[in-house]
Structure 1
Amino acid sequence: MRRWLGASAVAAAAVLSSATWGTATTTVPLVVHKPAHHLVPPGRGVAYTTNWSGYAAKNATFTDAKGSWVQPAVSCSSNRRQYSSFWVGIDGDTSNTVEQIGTDSDCVGRRASYYAWYEMYPAGSVALSQATYPVSPGDELSADVAYTGSGSFTLTLNDATQRWSYATTQSSTTATRTSAEWVAEAPSSCFRTCSVLPLANFGTASFLGSSATATGASGSISSFTNDRIVMETNGGTVKANPSSLSPDGSAFSDTWYHS
């Protein structure tokens, strides 16, 4: 999950335009990347949520999650604000925290917007400076979320195309580390209450090299008990759907179907 929007699109735009983008990072109150909102309890290796699509490894205590993706290009065909987030993280599938780092492909009206961020939910999202850490469609990105002990996590994001790397160490006193995720998300707007935002048409996102470490053992997604996560509306309309895992269990594609 992550970020939060104000009461209206105008207010949100004002908040964004007034933010001071530093050479490192700045907190930007736009949207929130939240834990998975399950429509029904997961079962038989498939889960249905209103905000996540991808894969979650579970039933272990995780110390690391890694993965790569190609930054999707969004199709912005209307004046409506729409959002899509792509990230690797620990927690959130069955817990109330998420330690995550990733990127966005958003539509601000008919204009596409791309940027990188990290979030230690329930703390707010932190956007990386677009000047220092630019993101463009087609960029090859890789992320690593590592638990280093005593409640500390190191979150790393690399853009091989733009040739930059960013790392930060953050703390969480409540992280349970009971899941690891590779996710395309419809983030949420949280103003008094939270609601899932419209999902931007990102086409297909390709996740590669997905792996995790738990209890000292490392492996691909398929090395662990895992769920394929389908994003649906409350009425059952599929919004995004991941493919089956590759033969080695480390890669999948995630396809947009509905906002």
Structure 2
Amino acid sequence: MQRKGSAPFRPASSAVRPSRSAPPGWVSGNWSGYAVQGKKNSYRQISAYWVVPRVKPSKQDRFSSAWIGIDGFGNPSLIQTGTEQDSINGKTVYYPWWEILPAAETRIDRPVSPGDLMFAKISRLPNRKWLILLRNKTKGWTFKTIQTYTGPGATAEWIMEAPSIGSEIATLANYGKIRFYSGKLNRRNANLKPSDRGIMVQQGRIVSTPSLPNKTKNGFYVAYGSKLPRSPRCKR
């Protein structure tokens, strides 16, 4: 198997029929979740919590990545960190990682299991350096790395992705449902809007659908399939 990694946003056909009550702001073949756009150097820090979802084993290899990142939505740059949830050879695989395109992902040598509470933060430092932080609050470990990154800082994302195997987008694993919450941008509330919301379409059908934002506009669910999940009731 060729290396697995993330990729910038890839648009998909909008010929499918998304929910009329909550039309998405964008449609992709590999991303679903929320993405916000600004000008160059708009975004200096992003953070969020999520709970690692449990994927269903399948005969066909299937993959999913939950992450936060800066750039990649409309540009080829991307700095990101998250967790992987895959079904390979009928067995489930979970691990944490970070990545700066165009380099391949780097696996983090720490344990991750379904149900673990994760916190991630990416912050710009002086001299084109960036801090990538990923913390497993359930298992009690924290990973940090400082890397050079020269992307535009023009978009920011909270995403469930079907990653790439070589140059091909993988089939999305059935991850059930995942909740991103307490999302922040530049140390402030993320202030998510319905127009920031995007669905994933593979082989002509909707395979991943985010909810509308919660009341505080800093969190949402993403659910496998085409059904629109309810917004989280919790304020955080």
Question: How would you bin the TM-score normalised by the shorter chain?
Answer: 0.7 to 0.9
Counterpart of 2:184 (choices 179, 188, 211) is 211
- Is residue 201 from structure 1 mapped to residue 174 from structure 2 by the alignment? yes
Aligned AA (1:249): K
Question: How many aligned positions are there?
Answer: 216
Structure 1 residue 110 corresponds to structure 2 residue 122: no
Q: Where in structure 2 are the equivalents of 1:50-65 lying within 5 Å?
A: 50-60=29-39, 61-65=42-46
Tell me what 2:209 maps to: 241
Residue 197 of structure 2: which of 228, 234, 254 is its match? 228
2:12–2:27 CA contact under 8 A, matched in 1: yes
1:160 aligns with 2:137: yes
Is the contact between residue 58 and residue 226 of structure 1 (CA under 8 Å) also seen in structure 2?
no
Partner of 1:47: 26
Write the mapping of 1:164-179 to structure 2, written as runs, cut at 5 A.
Answer: 164-173=141-150, 175-179=151-155
* Contact 2:24–2:199, Cα closer than 8 Å, also in 1: no
Of the three residues 8, 16, 23, the one matched with 1:35 is 8
Whether 1:70 and 2:59 are equivalent positions in the alignment is: no
User: How far did residue 233 of structure 1 move?
Assistant: 2.1
Give, as a single letter, the amino acid of the residue that structure 2 aligns with 1:99: I
How far off its partner does 1:152 sit? 1.3
Runs of 4+ in 1 over 3 A off after TM superposition: none
CA 1:67–1:197: 2 relative to 1, 3 Å: same
The residue matched to 2:125 in structure 1 has which SS? strand
Which residue of 2 is the match for residue 98 of structure 1?
78
**What's the counterpart of residue 142 of structure 1?**
119
The residue type paired with residue 53 of structure 1 is S
CA positional deviation for 1:241? 0.6
1:83 maps to amino acid: F
Amino acid corresponding to residue 47 of structure 2 in structure 1: K
Q: What percentage of residue pairs aligned between the two structures are identical? A: 28
Letter in 1 for 2:218: S
Q: 1:200 & 1:53 partners in 2: Cα distance?
A: 13
Aligned partners of 2:38, 2:194: CA distance in 1, in Å? 6
TM-score (norm 1): 0.79
Q: Kindly provide the amino acid, as one letter, of the partner of residue 185 in structure 1.
A: E
Cα distance in 2 for partners of 1:162, 1:82 equals: 26
TM-score (norm 2): 0.86
Report deviation, 1:127: 0.2
Superposed displacement of residue 81, structure 1: 1.2
CA distance in 2, matches of 1:218, 1:205: 22
Q: State which of 188, 194, 197 in structure 1 corresponds to 2:164.
A: 188
Find the counterpart in structure 1 of residue 18 from structure 2. Answer: none
Provide the C-alpha distance between the structure 1 equivalents of 2:53 and 2:69, rounded to a whole number of angstroms: 19
CA distance in 2, matches of 1:147, 1:211: 14
Q: Which runs of 5+ in 2 are unaligned?
A: 15-22, 227-236
CA distance in structure 1 between the aligned counterparts of 2:202 and 2:65, rounded to whole angstroms? 17
